[in-house]
Structures are given as structure tokens and as C-alpha cells.
Amino acid sequence: DARVTQTPRHKVTEMGQEVTMRCQPILGHNTVFWYRQTMMQGLELLAYFRNRAPLDDSGMPKDRFSAEMPDATLATLKIQPSEPRDSAVYFCASSTDTRSSGNTIYFGEGSWLTVV
């Protein structure tokens, strides 16, 4: 059963600490998205990778957020330093090339982050 795997599932951290979230996309998927979900904003796109290259990270606060794909099986989202307003659920999703119509994106179960 192919699925997107995210770790950690839950994280509570103190303001100012570094947080790293990891994602393993579905094998064979070359497109990875990071989304943030809050009650107020819904699902917001943070970053988008295709073939490991970051093509769009305009949704991320550049001063504290960074996203990378060290290899095809691992995507990371890092927050340094974390702030209480970063508390949210962070979803990773993957797909085959979504530029073509009809390519569904599949979500992981999310990393639930609380910054106190």
C-alpha cells in the first residue's frame, strides 16, 4: 500500500528551537509539495519540488523556513527559529508530474507542530 510517510507525527517545541520535518514520497513520484494547514488559512502551499529541484517556495517565510530534497526518497522542511505562530499541521504530498491534467496528489498524515 503506497503512501506518503511523514515524521514526526507530533512535535511540541519551545519558541526559538529548530524543527525539522521529514517526508518520504510515494516511490516513483517525482513531485513533492509541502502544505501548511491552519483553521484560519486552510491549506497553504509552502513549497513545490519537481525531480528534487525547488521550483516554488514563494509561500514560505524565507527568513526562517527552508525546504530541501537531499534525495528522491526524502524531503525536509526546517524551521529555525520556530515561533508560536508556526503552530499548525504540515502536510507533505507527492505526485507524478502535476503539470499534466489528471495527476492526483496524495497526502501524508501530517506533522502536528505546537510551538510554545
Partner 1 sequence: GESVGLHLPTLSVQEGDNSIINCAYSNSASDYFIWYKQESGKGPQFIIDIRSNMDKRQGQRVTVLLNKTVKHLSLQIAATQPGDSAVYFCAEKTSGTYKYIFGTGTRLKVLA
Compute how many residues bind partner 1; rule: CB under 8 A.
22
Which residue's CB is nearer to partner 1, number 81 or number 112?
Answer: 112
Burial per residue of 40-68, b for 16 or more beta-carbon CB atoms within 10 angstroms, e otherwise? eeeeeebbbbbeeebeebeebeeeebbbe
Q: Give the number of other Cβ atoms within 10 Å of residue 84's Cβ.
A: 10
The residue range among 19-27, 68-76, 80-88, 96-104 that interacts with partner 1, by the rule CB under 8 A, is 96-104
Considering only 60, 91, 94, 115, the residue that binds partner 1 (CB under 8 A) is 91
Considering only 15, 43, 51, 73, the residue that binds partner 1 (CB under 8 A) is 43
Question: Interaction with partner 1 in 61-90: which residues (CB under 8 A)?
Answer: none
Q: Does 12 bind partner 1 (CB under 8 A)?
A: no
Which residue's CB is nearer to partner 1, number 68 or number 109?
Answer: 109
* Cα gap 5→52, rounded to integer Å: 17
Q: Does 56 bind partner 1 (CB under 8 A)?
A: yes
36 Cβ contact list (under 8 Å, min separation 6)? 43, 44, 46, 88, 89, 90, 91
Contact footprint for partner 1 (CB under 8 A):
4, 31, 42-43, 45, 48, 50, 55-56, 91, 98-102, 104-110
